[in-house]
Amino acid sequence: MDNQNGFLLMKDQILANLREKESVVSGERLSAHLGVSRVAIWKHIQKLQASGYDIQSTPKGYLLRSSPDTPFPWEFPQRMSRMHYVERTTSTMDIARDMARKGAPDFTVVVAGVQEKGRGRLSRVWQSPEGGLYFTMVLRPELPPILSPRVNFAASLMLAQTLEQVCNIEVRVKWPNDLMVDEKKISGMLSEMEAESDRVSFINIGIGINVNNAPPADVGYAASIRQLTGKTHSRIEILSRFLNTFEKRMASGQLDTIMTEWKQQTATIGKEVTVTTTRGTSRGRAVDVDENGALVLETGAGERRKIVYGDCFHVPSGEREG
Ligand code: BTN
C-alpha cells in the first residue's frame, strides 16, 4: 500500500471505530485496533478535526460528535483510492482530463467543494458555489466511439433515479442530460471523450448538482434540491449511491436498452421545444430520441430533423403557438 492510500485508510478506520461505538473510544483501543502508535492516532485526529470533524478529545479518549458533509475519499471506503477531493479548483474537468491522459483507472472521480471556472455545455459557465456537488468521472468503457452517448444517457438516468430515492423528489430527464424537477433544472452534465479509431480511450463525465447551494441567480429555470424540498441533503450519500448504481450498470455491459429506459423517464418527448446548437436555434416538437441519443424534432408540416448535439428548452404551454 502506498503512503497516500495508507493515510486515507487510517482516516476511514478511525472514523469507522468512532462511529461504531457512538461513545468515547480510547486512544489505546484505537492504537491497538489499527496497529499504530497513540501519537500517530492523535495526529490523524487533529487532521480530521481540521477537516471539519467535531471530535472531542477527553481524558478517556475521543468522541465523534458530528461529521461534515464533505465528500472526502475516506467517506467512500469501497472506492477510496479512486476518489479525489479538492476544496477549490478551476474545474474538475481540467484535473480529470490530466488524470485520464496519465492513465487513471476506470471510475476515478474528482470532486470539488467550489469551482472557480465551472464549465457548462455550449461554452456556458456553471456556477459552482459551496453546497453543490461538482464532480467528474473518468470512464473507460469498452465501446466503439459511436456508442459512447449511451454512457451519458445511462449516467443521467441512474442519477435521476438516485436523486428520486435519496431526496424523495420526482425527477425527469431533459434531452440530452439535464435533470429537472417541475421544469426547474437541478443538474447538468458535460462530457469529453478521447478515442482511437475504433475504441474509446476515455469518457470524462462532469456532473453539477444543485444540492444545498442557493440556486444560480441569473438562470431563471434553475433550482436547488434544498430550495425545492425545504431540506438539506447529504452530498456524500447522493454521490456514493449514484456511483455504486452507475458503476454496477456499466460493469453489467447492459446498455442496449438504456435509450428505452431513458425515454420512460423523460419529460422532453411530446413537448414543444427550442433547441440551441452551435449553428443557431430551431423550434419544433420533440417526437423521439433515437438509439444513438439524437433528438428527433418535427419542425414543420411533417418535416423531421435529427439533432445530435445541442441544448433543448421546453416551451411553456402558455407560450405555444396555435
Ligand atoms: C450544463 O448543464 O451545461 C453542464 C454542466 C456541467 C457542470 C459540471 S460541474 C462538474 C464538472 N466541472 C465543470 O466545470 N463542469 C462539470
Please indicate whether residue 124, judged by its CB atom, sits closer than 6 Å to ligand 1. yes
Q: Give the model's pLDDT for residue 22.
A: 78
pTM: 0.95
Query: Confidence class of residue 320 from pLDDT cuts 50, 70 and 90?
Result: low
Q: What gap in Å lies between CA 74 and CA 16, rounded to an integer? A: 10
Q: What gap in Å lies between CA 58 and CA 75, rounded to an integer? A: 24
Average pLDDT for 112-140: 96
Residues 162 and 211 in one domain: yes
Q: What gap in Å lies between CA 312 and CA 322, rounded to an integer? A: 21
Name the residue range of residue 200's domain: 73-264
Task: For the chain, give the percent of residues with pLDDT over 90.
Answer: 86
Residues 8 and 89 in one domain: no
271-287 per-residue burial string, b: 16 or more CB within 10 A, e: under 16: bbbbbeeeeeebebbbe
Please indicate whether residue 190, judged by its CB atom, sits closer than 6 Å to ligand 1. yes
Residues 23 and 115 in one domain: no
Residues 48 and 91 in one domain: no
Query: Confidence class of residue 322 from pLDDT cuts 50, 70 and 90?
Result: very low
Residues 237 and 294 in one domain: no
Count Cα atoms within 13 angstroms, Cβ side, for 79.
23
Which of the two residues, 159 and 318, has the higher pLDDT score? 159
Residues 53 and 79 in one domain: no
Q: Is the pLDDT of residue 74 over 50?
A: yes
Residues 60 and 148 in one domain: no
Query: Confidence class of residue 2 from pLDDT cuts 50, 70 and 90?
Result: low
Please indicate whether residue 207, judged by its CB atom, sits closer than 6 Å to ligand 1. yes
CA of 21 to the centre of ligand 1 (A): 39
CA of 142 to the centre of ligand 1 (A): 24
Q: What gap in Å lies between CA 56 and CA 65, rounded to an integer? A: 7
Q: What gap in Å lies between CA 133 and CA 136, rounded to an integer? A: 10
Q: What is the mean pLDDT of the chain?
A: 94
Domain at 80, CATH number:
3.30.930.10
Please indicate whether residue 223, judged by its CB atom, sits closer than 6 Å to ligand 1. no
Q: Please identify, by atom number, the ligand 1 atom nearest to the C-alpha of residue 92.
A: 12
Q: Please identify, by atom number, the ligand 1 atom nearest to the C-alpha of residue 135.
A: 10
Q: Are 223 and 181 in contact (CB under 8 A)?
A: yes
Q: Please identify, by atom number, the ligand 1 atom nearest to the C-alpha of residue 120.
A: 3
Task: For the chain, give the percent of residues with pLDDT over 70.
Answer: 98
**Ranges 5-14, 257-266, 312-321, most confident:** 257-266
82-86, 171-175, 216-220, 274-278: range with lowest mean pLDDT = 216-220
Average pLDDT for 134-163: 96
CA of 199 to the centre of ligand 1 (A): 25
Q: Are 189 and 207 in contact (CB under 8 A)?
A: yes
CA of 146 to the centre of ligand 1 (A): 23
Answer with the one of 66, 95, 110 that is the final residue of a domain: 66
4-8, 20-24, 103-107: range with lowest mean pLDDT = 4-8
Q: Is the pLDDT of residue 319 over 70?
A: no
Answer with the one of 35, 66, 97 that is the final residue of a domain: 66
Domain count, the chain: 3
Residues 114 and 231 in one domain: yes
Residues 186 and 221 in one domain: yes
Residues 151 and 204 in one domain: yes
Q: Is the pLDDT of residue 96 over 60?
A: yes
Query: Confidence class of residue 11 from pLDDT cuts 50, 70 and 90?
Result: very high
Answer with the one of 246, 264, 282 that is the final residue of a domain: 264
Domain at 312, CATH number:
2.30.30.100
Residues 224 and 106 in one domain: yes
Average pLDDT for 66-81: 97
Residues 41 and 146 in one domain: no
Q: Give the model's pLDDT for residue 300.
A: 82
